[in-house]
Amino acid sequence: MSENMNNSTLRRDPRREWILRNRLHPQHSEIATEDSSSDVLHEWMGPQGIKRKAPHNIGFIGPNGIRRIDRSGTQQAGSASRKEIAQQPSRRSHQIQHPQQYILVVADMTGGRLSAQDKDILGLAHQLAAKKAETAVMLVVFGEHKEAAFAEAGVDRLLHIEGEAFDGFSPDLRLAWLTAIERELHPDYWLFPDSGLGGGDLGRRLAVELDVHAATGLWQVNLKEQPISCVCRAAASTQDLTRELPRVILALSECAEPISDSLHAVQEFNLVRQPLDQLPRIQDLGAVAVDPASVSLAEAEFILSGGNGIRDWDGFHQTAEILGATEGASRVAVDDGYMPRDRQVGATGTWVTARVYMAVGISGAIQHLQGIQSCDKVICINTDAGCDMVKRADLALIGDSTEILAAVRRKVSELKQEKRHVA
Amino acid sequence: MSLNQATRVAVLLSIGQHPVTARARRADQDARALELALQLNHADVIPLHVGQLNEHNEAALRSYLGMGISQIKLIGNSDILLGLEQGVRESQANIVLCGSRAETGEGSGLVPYLLAKKLGWPIVSGLVSIEKLDQGSATLLQALPRGQRRKLKVSLPAVLAVDPAAAVARQSAFGPAQRGAITPQKLSSIEAVSGAEVKHNSALHSFLWQFQPAKKRPKRLKIIKATSARDRFKAAAAKADASGGKVLQGVSADDAANEIIKLLLEESVLNLDGHL
Amino acid sequence: MLNQILPLLIFGALLLAVVGGVRRIRLWRNGRPSDVPIMAGLAALPRRYLVDLHHVVARDKYISNTHVATGGGFVAAAILAILVHGLQLNSQILAWALLAATTSMFVGALFVAKRRVQPPERLSKGPWMRLPKSLLAFSIGFFLVTLPVTGLVPAVLGAWVLALILSVLIIWGLGEMFFGMTWGGPMKHAFAGALHLAFHRRAERFNGGRSTGLKPLHFDDQQQPLGVEKPSEFTWNQLLGFDACVQCGRCEAMCPAFAAGQPLNPKKLIQDMVVGLAGGSDAAYAGSPYPGKPLGEHQGGPFASIIAREGQGLLDAETLWSCTTCRACVEECPMMIEHVDAIVDMRRHLTLERGQTPNKGAEVIDNLIATDNPNGFNPASRMNWAADLALPVLSDVKRTDVLLWMGDGAFDMRNQRSLRALVKILRAAKVDFAVLGNEERDSGDVARRLGDEATFQSLAKRNITTLAQYSFRSIVTCDPHSFHVLKNEYSDFGGQYVVYHHSTFINHLRQTGKLNFAPYKGGSVTYHDPCYLGRYNGEYDAPRDLLAAAGIQVIEMERSGFRSRCCGGGGGAPITDIPGKQRIPDMRMEDIKQTGAEIVAVGCPQCTAMLEGVVDPRPEVLDIAEIIAKQLVEAEEAA
């Protein structure tokens, strides 16, 4: 495909040139695309991670010997960039050989993987690290994990603390480790995701231990100011507090962009002095089985809601169980006795804030639509394409709900089975 | 602690603020904490508030009384943390129940941790219910995301911070609220030290700190890895995702199911690890 | 022989009656004091009985004629019997009069007996089944003993056997009529009823007046309890009122909650209050129970909690919370008993003292306190619906002719359509109007019906203060609940306003030629009377006149006007949400469907919401303002 790559001798092929000139020729587009692939590299990543360009190499030599630059991208640029990707690693490598100081990130690792919030926090850590040379971002991971992409997320150093105790709630032990790290490394910053029970809890424990007035609910850092200031949610998220950036930071999700264009070393790190075992004052007795259907509507993240149009309530309940969704209902379904009153969604029932709200057989009375105002995504299954719920929905499926729910159940079961076999 | 000693529960009550109108009210989480305390059998409940009683907050404090307690101990005119510490110590409580974070001021949620540190007690946050009280320990339920729960055993005395998912506080009734007493407490050992410390703390940061009404956070845009001007242009000029939803009519049930599952996976609400 | 026994019997029965009366009065006096005028009340009694009460009784011609004959006959017979047989006045005229009176009573009693052959469901049985026989015994007995006095039959007829039979009849008659009157028999209604009319807590209701606003609690009065926990915490004349009940069950037949199978029966409620004031259990009650609540499980006493904190009391709380405060029972009651007052009094205790407003009640009250509207919307967004209408706001214009009170419907997308229609009409008629805008608050209606008098008074006082800053001639609102509260309940706190419901006001505009209508081409229309407009404020005609003027022939429902059935939306009933066998709005929609109308015209945001909540297919629900706005023709066009 690219035998004339970097070949400066221009060999002319009159037939090709003729086809290139004749846009109506059946082979025109084929030849044109092929021709452009002969282009030499005009863009590459420099050693400092800065993009370098050779403007002379941009474009292609047109049929009458004149250089053409086609910005529409139909012909040349497309294939050129494809080639670029193939030629060089998409991410620059970010190496810190001899770190002078550290920024510590303690990730939640929900489900054993870096959560989106964890990645944002790592992004924030790198923004702070860029202020001083030779600063490494170190991630602390407690217990088992399944994450394979630490390098892409921006982990320069990894402190993996293993132990069965970390499978459960063990704040005292974790805190002991963090204080040991503090003694040994004295990091510039401690970053935690300000999430319910993970970083939100541990971060506050550490802040109190270190006697630092932590920044909580942080969502913006102003790096250009001196000293660096930050903006935190205060007074139950009704106010913004602008303050100086302390050493212990508990940040919200989307506080910074996650790392997207560099590859990091993920070098294992070990503490010289490990903390002593101590008797825990808090003992984890394990998870309590909670039926997703019984989760309160206000807490629910994913609601499967049924209305007047449902014929097969058993199927509805089964679907909720398989999907792990919390059950909701329209007023009519409650009035008709299919669902208890505390499951009613709407202005006259519960106002819900679920991320995904799936309405089955609900036509969407105004009161109901008011109650789901703050839901992110609405899926709707209904027989009537003209109803208000279809207008509100992000994904509307017109058809028989019994059949569609049965298909969903079947497909999800299959997917779960597959997953199980893979694992 | 002697065997016959009843559990003494100090409940820390603060002045809340309504999220829409910013009117003073009983703080939601503190009220839930009081509710948890009131539902304990054989426990003495000691409600504490640190601050001054004034026109602005009296109704809010009284609405705690309306939940059926006869008095609130008022610890006036001191640093909040020191006041709480003294209040808890003098009430001889072995459990402190409080909300996770305040509805006014910084609302950092650090106070329960600071208090626990000062008292030297363990702290558990995210509490949804107290299952059992034994001599020297308590069995608790802690809230996990998506309505999940975890059982913990903590040695007493302890500080327990209540999760917003705990049981809703009972209604506050007007009559008991009017009749209940807000009794100022004379605490012996705070005096001068606290005054100095308050000054010290405020000098440290308050001159830098600014409060403003919360700004709406910008929605994160899809990150476009634009390597060329053309990609950037295309990204900038691209039509925003149509606001109207996708309507699928006349598709087979299987296709419909696939569409649904695709969206559920995109939103990561579907957990395929779960049981079949 | 009989001549010697008769005075003894009569005066003996009278004495027992007096003793019983004193005993009964002492039971009533367990109640709290009430400042009704005693002498003026007694003086007004005959007129109240003969005119006002009879006006209600006469809705059922059969029973009113029967009652005139029986009751009138008995009163005359009783007085004459005391004179003729008790005092032995030997007067031919009196004797003949007594014969006539007993005959009248006898005829009446026959009709009473006939009604009792197959009594309607609503009537109580038990001792009430005995009453016609007792009436017959009394009338026959005294008729026969009077015959010798008139000289029609020789006195010797009074042979031993006959005398014995006669004595039995007379003892039975006297026992039921004199002794039973004050010792708790069915005739108690005559004794208590008469005094109840004399000392009625709403004297304004007589002489054709209307008194429907709830009575305020005085929070600065330390003696006054916050609502009613025990029967003794009712005022004494309320207790007296309960005793006046004749158990005719007209309230039961009208009660929407009872019909829907919710655990409420107004008749049983009043009887339970009687049980409460005298002490005992409800086992002896012989009428329809609360749906789903068997008899004999509840008991109480004057100083026992009506709603027990633990175990069974006299009532279950859900009985009280089933009421929609539609006033249908009060409207129907021939004894003019105030059921709604009693229910709200007991609700006040539950809310103010115990904090036990069920279901969404607590949340609604919290919202009213924190945001001045029941759904917790931002009070600064009350005017958002009218962002494009450029409505004049009173804080800018300071004075206006008409203040348009928006109500909480301003937050509701459905009601905003009605409000827009109303604004269109006002503009077409060139009315000088303005709104309070974001300064407006909930009127306090829901808080008050839920028993939260404190929040109601707080809202009322703040609204009155706001209103006092501006100058306006009248208030117009499309919400009958706000209408009622502004018109009838704010006056206790110093707010006196001229208030019109929008149907009245639009009708007035039409009458003065400010509106022109195009010929009506829409579907057939029926009209649903909102309780708070009709029964509470007597406005039945304006909406009908208005629709007629717009060329709409209203098909009346069987239950319309003062007998209109509630939509189920009043009194906080949708908030407390007590389950029944069916829903009240579904029943009302059945009424509507029976007319075959395609459109039901309403005049209340609550009714609109409740009726629109009925599952399709059903007639379209439109506010009167919406219908009229569609019919409007601009004046220029018409000219």
Whose structure tokens read 């440290």?
A: B204
- pLDDT of B114 > 90? The answer is yes
Three-class DSSP category at C267: helix
The predicted-structure confidence for B201-219, as pLDDT tens digits, reads as follows 444 555 578 888 988 888 7
- pLDDT of A86 > 50? The answer is no
Distance from CA of C134 to the nearest CA of B (A): 50
Are residues A61 and A159 located together in one domain of the fold? no
Three-class DSSP category at A276: coil
Q: Specify the pLDDT at position A96.
A: 86
Structural domain C373-509, CATH architecture:
3-Layer(aba) Sandwich (3.40)
Q: Does C417 touch chain A (CB under 8 A)?
A: no
Least confident of A101-105, B35-39, B233-237, C18-22: B233-237
pLDDT band at C638 (very low <50, low <70, confident <90, very high): very low
The predicted-structure confidence for C73-87, as pLDDT tens digits, reads as follows 999 999 999 998 888
Least confident of A28-32, A326-330, B61-65, B191-195: B191-195
- pLDDT of B3 > 80? The answer is no
Least confident of A73-87, A312-326, C448-462: A73-87
Is CATH 3.30.70 the classification given to domain C516-638? no
| Mean pLDDT of all residues in C306-313 | 89
Euclidean distance between CA atoms C134 and C176, whole angstroms: 6
In chain B, how many domains are there? Answer: 1
Q: Specify the pLDDT at position A423.
A: 62
Q: Is residue B55 part of a domain?
A: yes
Cβ pair A367, A347 in contact under 8 A: yes
Q: Is residue A353 part of a domain?
A: yes
Distance from CA of A325 to the nearest CA of C (A): 25
- pLDDT of C557 > 80? The answer is yes
The predicted-structure confidence for A193-223, as pLDDT tens digits, reads as follows 998 778 899 999 999 999 999 999 999 999 9
If we measure between CA atoms, which residue out of A119, A124, A106, A117 comes closest to residue A256? Answer: A124
Euclidean distance between CA atoms C229 and A351, whole angstroms: 34
Q: Specify the pLDDT at position A353.
A: 82
* Structure-block tokens of residue C169: 């009849």
Higher pLDDT, A167 or C544: C544
Q: Chain B partners of A300 at a C-beta cutoff of 8 Å?
A: 146-147
Closest in A308, A348, A366 to C413, CB measured: A366
Angular region, B65: left φ>0, alpha ψ -120 to 50, beta rest? alpha
Higher pLDDT, B264 or A78: B264
Are residues A80 and A176 located together in one domain of the fold? no
Least confident of A237-251, B223-237, C540-554: B223-237
pLDDT band at C208 (very low <50, low <70, confident <90, very high): confident
Provide the domain limits for residue A372. 292-422
Distance from CA of A403 to the nearest CA of C (A): 24
Least confident of A37-51, B131-145, C30-44, C378-392: A37-51
Q: Is residue A324 part of a domain?
A: yes
Are residues A81 and A115 located together in one domain of the fold? no
Distance from CA of B76 to the nearest CA of A (A): 22
Cβ pair B256, A407 in contact under 8 A: yes
Which residue in A344, A348, A391 has the most chain C C-beta atoms within 10 A of its own C-beta, making it the best mutation to test that interface? A348
| Mean pLDDT of all residues in A314-336 | 89
| Mean pLDDT of all residues in A213-239 | 90
Euclidean distance between CA atoms A404 and A410, whole angstroms: 10
The predicted-structure confidence for C359-395, as pLDDT tens digits, reads as follows 889 999 999 999 999 989 999 999 999 999 999 999 9
* Residue B151's CATH number: 3.40.50.620
Q: Does C384 touch chain B (CB under 8 A)?
A: no
The widest CA-to-CA distance across chain C, in whole angstroms, is 97
* Structure-block tokens of residue C217: 């609690």
CB pairs under 8 A between A and C: 18
Q: Does B224 touch chain A (CB under 8 A)?
A: no
Q: Specify the pLDDT at position A5.
A: 46
Cross-chain residue pair A370–C413, CB shorter than 8 Å: yes
For chain B, the C-alpha Rg in angstroms (whole number) is 25
Q: Specify the pLDDT at position C636.
A: 53
Q: Specify the pLDDT at position C431.
A: 95
If we measure between CA atoms, which residue out of A257, A262, A258 comes closest to residue A48? Answer: A262
Are residues A345 and A402 located together in one domain of the fold? yes
C-alpha dihedral sign at C166, C172, C176, C180? positive
Cross-chain residue pair A292–B147, CB shorter than 8 Å: yes
Euclidean distance between CA atoms B253 and A151, whole angstroms: 42
Q: Specify the pLDDT at position A219.
A: 93
Distance from CA of A33 to the nearest CA of B (A): 18
- Specify which residues B47 forms β-bridges with: B11
The predicted-structure confidence for C502-522, as pLDDT tens digits, reads as follows 999 999 999 999 999 999 988
Q: What percent of chain B has pLDDT over 70?
A: 80
Q: Annotate C352-387 with b (16+ C-beta within 10 A) or e (fewer).
A: bbbbbbbbbbbbbbbbbbbbbbbbbbebeebbebbe
pLDDT band at C1 (very low <50, low <70, confident <90, very high): low
Q: What percent of chain C has pLDDT over 90?
A: 77
- pLDDT of A40 > 60? The answer is no
Q: Specify the pLDDT at position B192.
A: 40
Cβ pair C343, C320 in contact under 8 A: yes
pLDDT band at A82 (very low <50, low <70, confident <90, very high): very low
Burial class (CB in 10 A: 0-12, 13-18, 19+), B237: exposed
C-alpha dihedral sign at C356, C357, C363, C364? negative
Helix or strand (DSSP H, E) at C300: strand C299-300
Q: Which one of A44, A70, A88 terminates a domain?
A: A88
Q: Which one of A88, A117, A148 terminates a domain?
A: A88
Burial class (CB in 10 A: 0-12, 13-18, 19+), C557: buried
If we measure between CA atoms, which residue out of C109, C616, B255 comes closest to residue A408? Answer: B255
Among chain B residues, CA nearest to C453: B174
For chain C, the C-alpha Rg in angstroms (whole number) is 28
Closest in B25, B68, B171 to C370, CB measured: B25
The predicted-structure confidence for B224-259, as pLDDT tens digits, reads as follows 666 667 767 766 666 554 456 788 888 888 889 998
* Structure-block tokens of residue C79: 């007085």
Are residues A109 and A251 located together in one domain of the fold? yes
Euclidean distance between CA atoms B224 and A260, whole angstroms: 10
- pLDDT of A75 > 80? The answer is no
Q: Is residue B59 part of a domain?
A: yes
The predicted-structure confidence for C114-137, as pLDDT tens digits, reads as follows 999 889 999 999 899 999 999 999
Cβ pair A221, A127 in contact under 8 A: yes
Q: Is residue A287 part of a domain?
A: no
Euclidean distance between CA atoms A43 and C104, whole angstroms: 118
* Structure-block tokens of residue A151: 């390098």
Among chain C residues, CA nearest to A332: C615
Angular region, A376: left φ>0, alpha ψ -120 to 50, beta rest? alpha
Q: What percent of chain A has pLDDT over 90?
A: 37
Fold assignment, C223-354? Fumarate Reductase Iron-sulfur Protein; Chain B, domain 2 (1.10.1060)
Three-class DSSP category at C18: helix
Higher pLDDT, C156 or C383: C383
Q: Is residue B228 part of a domain?
A: no
Are residues A225 and A311 located together in one domain of the fold? no
- Specify which residues C400 forms β-bridges with: C472
Higher pLDDT, C383 or A39: C383
Cβ pair C349, C313 in contact under 8 A: no
| SS3 labels along A197-242 | CCHHHHHHHHHHHHCCCCEEEEEEEECCCCCCEEEEEECCCCEEEE
Q: Is residue B221 part of a domain?
A: no
* Residue A311's CATH number: 3.40.50.1220
- Specify which residues C585 forms β-bridges with: none
Q: Is residue B240 part of a domain?
A: no
Are residues A348 and A376 located together in one domain of the fold? yes
The predicted-structure confidence for C259-296, as pLDDT tens digits, reads as follows 999 999 999 999 999 999 999 999 999 999 999 999 98
Give chain C's mean pLDDT. 92
Are residues A394 and A369 located together in one domain of the fold? yes
Give chain B's mean pLDDT. 83
Are residues A34 and A130 located together in one domain of the fold? no
- Specify which residues A234 forms β-bridges with: A239
C-alpha dihedral sign at A367, C571, C331, C210? negative
Q: What percent of chain C has pLDDT over 70?
A: 98
pLDDT band at C158 (very low <50, low <70, confident <90, very high): low
Q: Specify the pLDDT at position B180.
A: 93
Euclidean distance between CA atoms C288 and C295, whole angstroms: 9
Least confident of A126-140, A368-382, B164-178: A368-382
Q: Which amino acid is at A352?
A: V
Cross-chain residue pair A341–C359, CB shorter than 8 Å: yes
| Mean pLDDT of all residues in B13-17 | 94
Higher pLDDT, C610 or A68: C610
This complex has an ipTM of 0.88
- pLDDT of A77 > 80? The answer is no
Q: Specify the pLDDT at position B61.
A: 94
| Mean pLDDT of all residues in B33-54 | 92
- pLDDT of A161 > 70? The answer is yes
pLDDT band at A291 (very low <50, low <70, confident <90, very high): confident
Provide the domain limits for residue B75. 7-200
Are residues A111 and A242 located together in one domain of the fold? yes
